[in-house]
Amino acid sequence: PPELLCPITLSMMGDPVVANDGHSYERAAIATWLATHDTSPRTREPMGGANLVPNHALRAQIGEWRAARGL
């Protein structure tokens, strides 16, 4: 499902985090992005820092999706 994919990598997230723009990303992908950009990869608005908060709810949802498919 699209909501389980990182908008940067377009792959299923394994370590989802919420960035300052309110969107969820794969931790490694957004960290790499923020190393060279100061804007959101989704909105192109200024990010205002690199505070990344684990998205436990999305991680659980991804785990449930994978378990339901035997992945």
List pLDDT tens digits, range 27-42.
999 999 999 999 999 9
Strand partners for 18:
24, 53
Cβ contact 13:44 at 8 Å: no
Considering the entire predicted model, what is its pTM?
0.92
pLDDT at residue 49 in the model? 81
pLDDT at residue 51 in the model? 92
- CATH number of domain containing 64: 3.30.40.10
pLDDT at 48 > cutoff 90 = no
Q: Which domain holds residue 47?
A: 2-68
Domain count for the chain? 1
CA distance 56 to 47: 21
